[in-house]
């Protein structure tokens, strides 16, 4: 497909969670502008209605939904079925954040950040999956964050986004067997959430200029399209730039024997930098470790050695 061939959605039905503002609103508007029928979900009913109003004034089709993604995910899916009769696309965008030192943040706040982000993705995906399978062109897109690598004062959010990353990688492998394409995006965009997070005016100005939320929505819409065959990975997205991501390891090393003293003596070798080995799934990690310990296993260990679905 050429750059000038417009991607249309031919009345396919999409749910976008957290669609009341920021990236979620842009995702909903982008999909609707290309012909999708959209359920704009946000727990803030007024903001969800505002998103629908913006879509409809531009000639798009959308309905608002204010059900809680954690406790009423099935009702969100039912909104799509009641309004449009089917479901093809889910964009799990909703999430919240709160900042503070881990040991100083109260437990209720910490778990609310984690639960809204993770349980929301899990429950909406679980409720949607039978309908995505039935559609024949199901697309499930989960929004993670580069915060999964760790951000001081943001432990709940970082932990949640790490969980979404791991969940997405696993669902991608499972869902491809039933015709559903699952992908994860790690976006950088100027939104109300990032405005609260970054107070440095230099950072704010750079983000306003280079990473509008609508740019991420263009990438999400491409992943969601029924003709797109790229899926199953986690992609960094910022403005008009994107990259595939992979967990990587430095060169492996061995210690003389399995004792604390031996590891203490080997610390310098362990901490040396070197070439990175990308690991895209648990089997690559497991196999690499085993072959490093016993090279003769290279000829007998299967590529999917850690895949518990293989018997």
Partner residues linked to 15 by β-bridges: 39, 90
Please identify which residue in the block is written with the tokens 């879509």.
55
Q: Are strands 247-249 and 277-279 parallel, antiparallel or unpaired?
A: antiparallel
Instruction: Exactly one of 114, 157, 219, 231 is catalytic; name it.
Output: 157
CA–CA gap between residue 148 and residue 150 (Å, rounded) = 5
What three-state secondary structure class fits 42?
A: coil
DSSP state of 176: G
76 in Cβ contact with 43 (< 8 Å): no
Closest CA relative to residue 19, chosen from 8, 30, 33: 30
175 in Cβ contact with 181 (< 8 Å): yes
Tokens representing residue 222 in the block: 């491409």
157 catalytic per annotation: yes
Catalytic site positions:
157
């Amino acid at each position: 497909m050429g750059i000038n061939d417009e991607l249309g959605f031919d009345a396919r039905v999409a749910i976008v969670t957290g669609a009341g503002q920021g990236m979620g609103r842009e995702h909903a508007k982008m999909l609707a502008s290309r012909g999708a029928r959209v359920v704009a979900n946000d727990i803030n009913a007024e903001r969800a209605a505002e998103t629908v109003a913006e879509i409809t004034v531009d000639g798009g089709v959308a309905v608002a939904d204010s059900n809680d993604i954690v406790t009423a995910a099935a009702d969100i899916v039912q909104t799509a079925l009641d309004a449009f009769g089917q479901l093809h696309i889910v964009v799990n965008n909703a999430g919240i954040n709160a900042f503070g030192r881990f040991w100083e943040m109260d437990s209720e706040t910490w778990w609310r950040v984690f639960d809204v982000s993770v349980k929301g993705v899990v429950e909406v995906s679980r409720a949607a999956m039978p309908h995505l399978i039935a559609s024949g062109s199901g697309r499930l897109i989960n929004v993670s964050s580069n915060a999964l690598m760790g951000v001081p004062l943001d432990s709940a959010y970082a932990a949640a986004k790490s969980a979404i990353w791991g969940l997405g990688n696993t669902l991608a492998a499972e869902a491809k067997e039933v015709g559903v394409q699952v992908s994860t995006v790690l976006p950088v965009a100027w939104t109300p959430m990032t405005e609260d997070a970054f107070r440095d005016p230099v950072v704010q100005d750079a983000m306003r200029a280079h990473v509008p939320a609508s740019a991420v929505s263009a990438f999400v819409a491409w992943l969601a399209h029924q003709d797109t065959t790229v899926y199953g990975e986690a992609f960094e997205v910022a403005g008009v730039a994107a990259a595939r991501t992979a967990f990587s390891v430095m060169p492996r090393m061995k210690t003389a024997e399995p004792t604390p003293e031996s590891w203490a003596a080997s610390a310098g070798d362990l901490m040396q930098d070197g070439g990175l080995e990308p690991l895209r799934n648990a089997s690559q990690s497991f196999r690499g470790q085993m072959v490093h310990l016993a090279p003769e296993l290279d000829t007998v260990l299967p590529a999917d050695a850690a895949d518990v679905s293989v018997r």
